[in-house]
A and B are shown apart, each in its own frame.
Chain A
Amino acid sequence: MVTSTSAKKHLATTLEVPALRKKYYAESLQQAGGRKVAWCSNGIPSEILEAMDINAVYLENYATVCAAKRLSSGFCRAGERAGFSQDVCGYARILMGHLLGGEEAPQAPYGGVAKPDFLIVNSYSCDSRMGWFGTMSRTLDLPLYVLDAPYQPQGGCMDDVNVAYTESQLEDFAAFLEEQTGMKLDRDKLREKLDLSRRSHDIQVEIFEMRKAVPSPMGAGDAYTIVWPGMYMAGTKECDEFYQRLRAEVSERIEKKVGVVPEEKFRLLWSGLPFWYNMALLNYFEEFGGVVAIENAYFRYQRSLPSQHDDPIKDMAISSTMRRPYAGDIEQRAELTRDIVRDYHVDGVVLAFNPSCRLMYVLQPELKNVLDRDGIPNVSIECDMADERTYSEGQIKTRLDAFIERMLSRRK
């Protein structure tokens, strides 16, 4: 029913990621005995885990791997049989299916993931994961650390009280990790890692800015893959070097005017998560001269703040408080979307409605209202990002085809 799991990669550097990822998971499994294993949600700062030599498994990413390998149906079913409603996050159902499914669950990719010694979740993105990790903590009878930061949709983010709270959270987090590992956090090491990750973050911001170029040097098909090292290996030399190579390749493509498509007829913004079991949709527009020039899910546009303190935890407190709430409140999102449409010369927006990603899902209708009011052409497609049983090819294609027809016939 789905077209193809992987997106076509237009850049050579992108092709390095699968091997990196496979190696990461393999090493994680191999070293499970020696290093303490932490099951993490996205956004847990990997620098501090690296500094303490903790074997981190980011569950949401593993869920996308399961989805990409076309195993989501089996895992979701197993998770649902274990009592988790179809309403809850597809990633959670996949992992709970993996955990509790026993023989009924599909074979786990990469041979499975290392068994955890403790769990870490943060409140930085969505609420759903708190419940998910809470139940895992109970099922596995393992300690869970909840890393919190203020939400504050409008202003107030950077004031002392908010930063102090985040700092206290991070200090307690460090103490928790020290207790779990029996190791002391080496703050010099952490500072080094933060310096590295700041740099690679800024390189990623640069690459995002370079993508404003016409023709588009790198589309969403590559972007959703190359985001991986920054999310899961931040603070490592490998990650840093990867982005330097990527930047060089993007730079070259811009110089030579090598675009994703030879003749760009329309440029799109993909809002929401992609469908991890059918990434080829991101390339679908290319045969018609269209390119998904930019996506907003993991959009990095704020440069790192330079280090302001000797104590790296204090620096982390500021950057963690400063991060926009993952999707922001609607006004922030609308503003950001307008900026993206303008700066990236976007002709239309694809609004992905992923039902089980509650965070994104509940914000999309209002974003659509804003786009409609602003007269920015958009199309809505509904389909879960992880659970492939929700994918209906005919329905999705009809909407996308109509949108493409609209793009091609629009007044220039």
Chain B
Amino acid sequence: MITVGVDIGSATSKAVLLSGDEVAGHSLIATGAESANSARRVMDEVLQRSRLSPNDIAYIVATGYGRVIVPFAQETITELTCHARGANWLFPSARTILDMGGQDCKAIRCDEEGRLENFAMNDKCAAGTGRFLELMARVLGLSLGELGELSLEATSEVMINSTCAVFAKSEVTSLIREGKARADVLAGLHSAIAARVYNLLRGVGVEPDLVITGGIGKNVGVVRKIEERVGLKALLPEEPQIVGALGAALIAQERIASGKEEAKW
């Protein structure tokens, strides 16, 4: 049985093709201005990668910010439910998920079957999001991918006072001008982010195991700082950005199993 989960985020769109118990393919593209368009593009790409055709797909679930404009999906489910499901499938011991996406940050609690139990979202400001780090990367003249490793070279962490992206930008600029090492400033930024997301996590209560998903999960510096704060080692998916789409594909499977109508193209 083959199902697809499509996650249309504000920054990136993802698709996961699930064949039985295996991820047979996945794709990730920049969403761009046209969300409806990106749904079709990311779908086409995952079909291409797994060398399948639309007829092979039994059921499609759409999730994410742009879920309601995926015309070919049978059903929409929020990314909160999908992340819980996806993370728990990858790590059956997962009970707390921290998703740090492009524009928002979510703390999620699930039960042993990956059912959503509780959640807290920060979608009001940039703290703890990809957007924040993108801005900081620009200020420091680095690429996003370089941030994590570089921060581990810090010899002495610089305290960053502001967690607001607007203020942090000018703070970071002044620190660099003062001659502070980029690694040290980065370490401070990562600490500040960790402090903010820790507050979010405390809103739902942290129960082991903790899984970190979303693009920022690839930033080893932030992950370390969060682990320090929470006092737990985090489980990290190989592909942290597709966990939502994976969860959607899993739910699609459940729908078929419980007798839902198959996809019609």
Contact = CB atoms under 8 A, between A and B. Distances in A.
B116 A406 contact: yes
A399 B118 CA distance: 11
Contacts of B121: 395, 398-399
B77 A405 contact: yes
Nearest to A404: B78
B116 A398 contact: no
Given A372-B205, A395-B123, A405 B118 contact: no
A402 B205 contact: no
B131 interface: no
Contact of B115 (A372, A394, A406): A406
Interface string A373-412: 0000101100000000000001100110110011001100
A394 B65 contact: yes
Given A372-B205, A394-B65, A395-B123, A401 B115 contact: no
B3 to A, nearest CB: 17
A379 B118 CA distance: 8
A374 B169 CA distance: 42
A interface bracket (residues with beta carbon within 8 Å of B): 10 to 19
Given A372-B205, A395-B123, A402 B80 contact: yes
A402 B123 contact: no
A402 B116 contact: yes
Given A398-B78, A401-B78, A406 B205 contact: no
B117 interface: yes
A394 B79 CA distance: 12
Nearest to B115: A409
Given A372-B205, A394-B65, A395-B123, A402 B115 contact: no
Contacts of B119: 379, 399, 402
B81 interface: yes
B16 to A, nearest CB: 19
Contacts of B65: 394, 398
A83 B166 CA distance: 26
Contacts of A377: 117-118
A405 B119 CA distance: 12
Contacts of A394: 65
A381 to B, nearest CB: 10
Contacts of A380: 120
Contact of A406 (B76, B79, B81, B124): B81
A266 to B, nearest CB: 14
Interface in A124-180: none
Interface string B7-35: 00000000000000000000000000000
Given A372-B205, A394-B65, A398-B78, A406 B123 contact: no
B230 to A, nearest CB: 18
A236 B163 CA distance: 56
Nearest to B205: A372
A410 B81 CA distance: 12
Given A394-B65, A395-B123, A372 B118 contact: yes
19 contacts: A372-B205, A377-B118, A379-B119, A395-B123, A398-B65, A398-B79, A398-B121, A401-B76, A401-B78, A402-B80, A402-B81, A402-B119, A405-B77, A405-B78, A405-B116, A406-B115, A406-B116, A409-B115, A410-B115
Closest 5 pairs (CB-CB, A-B): A402-B80, A402-B78, A405-B81, A401-B78, A406-B116
Given A399-B119, A405-B81, 5 more contacts: A372-B205, A398-B65, A398-B79, A401-B78, A409-B116
